[in-house]
Structure 1
């Protein structure tokens, strides 16, 4: 039985056990927690119903979410001409404190049909794949390099198991595993059961590492506050610390890495000329106008160009010059034998 979501000041009831209501104390999120500082929801499906989409974005902004990704899903073959249906700017007003990025999710059944993924990645800010078969899932975890998110349809009952080795290989490669919770809130009992079973299997295989939690909400009814999401994930077996990382640190890493991929080239991100400081440039221009170099005039610089000698050597040279002058004077004053005989 799935518990109803409660506020951060209450504990959810897990049902009745022998006539008594069983409760569990879940980790609460304080207002000073980093969860409430930079929150990410990287999966909001794009819809032509702009009024409903605008309400979802406004509600996310009220819940202190900072970055939201509008998702466009592609099922089947990737078209040859790739055009993003998400306009820029959006045709409606958005909250000023909410950053909106674009995302594309590609359903992948055969990994050999992914030759257009690089061109698709250039049209969106984030690229995610949704594997539907075991072969596609292993390829997304082990070899696929264009996508940064593996988003699974958790309402499905997969024919394969989530093993730790491929999932942890994907996490070490920088790929994150996305968990969407709105299907467990609005879907039927079968969908809810499959979501809980798949989430618990993924959490067990990854030990809670490398996860990204998104809503995939098509209306405001599928969105929850970060404290409620943390409580829900705690019921499903994810620790409070990992739940905070799944809503803050891990999705931020996805956004930053995707930005670097699109702005960098062969390891070089960007080359920026910072220029010179205004005071230094003014001083250099004045010195040039006055005929100065490095704060000194040219004549002074020329004089200083003569190599200096030590005091000892200067004294020695002075003594030699004095001795030479004395010898010359004494030689001219002493009479010779010829002059004395005469």
Structure 2
């Protein structure tokens, strides 16, 4: 059974609105949602990166996901709107408070830089206006090779006819360059009425130019890949875990009963190591 995710639910200081968004997402069958804090720095004055609000302050008890026996998972995400290269600070300590890191470039040069160099999880594509540049395959392929995904949101298409045209046009242009690879579909919803179910989003993805399989992955497995990429980004591009083998457990239990003088140190080959998994 597929696990569906919506990695872009816009943050609001209104607690009732956020509670309604999270409860509606769980009712629609989303197992994971990410609350998106949008940060748009300007050159005129210095602005502080917003701090994520603790989940227990937004909603008292997490609702159970429809069709599952577990509560919904809520993550925090930061989206930096870049109009200058200096707006994104890769080593900023404020970024570490967020589970996901996204960038929305506003020029062709910044789009190329983001695809090739920026250590982020998601590249947002503006769908509310006509883009001032065309998508080129070289930077897009560079982002795909590094495991970065492109995000298309649909809530703006529900608000205005003009934005609906821009959403479809920009989405189709992106699909012509990326061929449906590394795409996620999210809502960017401001209120519960703008949320749609996973299968409705899948049908919408077909309208954007995705195949049936790619459209389903855009709200499930590709979103899961984003979470794994975020974890590896925080752990030097890899996750290494250790686990005890059955033989070692027996030796430990036997060694605990033996005198200290009879215990021997374990050799490196006797330790059980899980292989580190690296996501580029």
Tell me which interval the TM-score lies in, with the shorter structure as reference length: 0.7 to 0.9
Largest Rg, 1 or 2: 1
Cross-structure match for 2:87: 113
Tell me, yes or no, if structure 1 residue 58 matches structure 2 residue 30.
Answer: no
Question: How far apart are residue 254 of structure 1 and its match?
Answer: 1.1
Tell me, yes or no, if structure 1 residue 100 matches structure 2 residue 66.
Answer: no
Q: Structure 2: state its 5+ residue gaps.
A: 65-70, 265-280
Q: Deviations over 1:244-293 (max 9, x none)?
A: 1111111111111212322x24756455778953x54443344549x989
Tell me, yes or no, if structure 1 residue 163 matches structure 2 residue 163.
Answer: no
Tell me, yes or no, if structure 1 residue 151 matches structure 2 residue 109.
Answer: no
* Aligned 8 A contact 2:52 2:98 in 1: no
* Aligned 8 A contact 1:111 1:135 in 2: no
* Shift in alpha-carbon separation, 1:272–1:120, aligned structure 2, 3 A: farther
- Say which of 284, 287, 301 aligns to 2:255: 284
Q: Deviations over 1:208-249 (max 9, x none)?
A: 111011111111221111111111111222111001111111
Greater RCO structure (CA 8 Å; 6+ sep): 2
SS in 1 for 2:56: coil
* Aligned 8 A contact 2:41 2:87 in 1: no
* Superposition map of 1:252-291 within 5 A: 252-262=224-234, 264-265=235-236, 267=238, 269-270=240-241, 277=249, 280-288=251-259
* Aligned 8 A contact 1:83 1:123 in 2: no
Cross-structure match for 2:276: none
* Aligned 8 A contact 1:44 1:216 in 2: yes
TM-score (norm 2): 0.81
* Shift in alpha-carbon separation, 1:83–1:228, aligned structure 2, 3 A: closer
Count of residue correspondences: 254
Cross-structure match for 2:145: 172
Q: Structure 1: state its 5+ residue gaps.
A: 1-33, 295-342
Tell me, yes or no, if structure 1 residue 250 matches structure 2 residue 222.
Answer: yes
* Shift in alpha-carbon separation, 1:80–1:50, aligned structure 2, 3 A: closer
TM-score (norm 1): 0.67
SS in 2 for 1:122: helix
Question: How far apart are residue 165 of structure 1 and its match?
Answer: 2.1
Tell me, yes or no, if structure 1 residue 190 matches structure 2 residue 162.
Answer: yes
* Superposition map of 1:176-255 within 5 A: 176-186=149-159, 188-255=160-227
* Aligned 8 A contact 2:232 2:238 in 1: no
SS in 1 for 2:218: helix
* Shift in alpha-carbon separation, 1:109–1:228, aligned structure 2, 3 A: same
* Shift in alpha-carbon separation, 1:44–1:274, aligned structure 2, 3 A: farther
Tell me, yes or no, if structure 1 residue 124 matches structure 2 residue 98.
Answer: yes
- Say which of 134, 145, 154 aligns to 2:108: 134
SS in 1 for 2:132: coil
SS in 2 for 1:90: helix
CA distance in 1, matches of 2:132, 2:196: 30
Cross-structure match for 2:35: 70
* Aligned 8 A contact 1:129 1:140 in 2: yes
CA distance in 1, matches of 2:110, 2:100: 19
CA distance in 1, matches of 2:182, 2:82: 21
Tell me, yes or no, if structure 1 residue 87 matches structure 2 residue 61.
Answer: no
* Aligned 8 A contact 1:72 1:105 in 2: yes
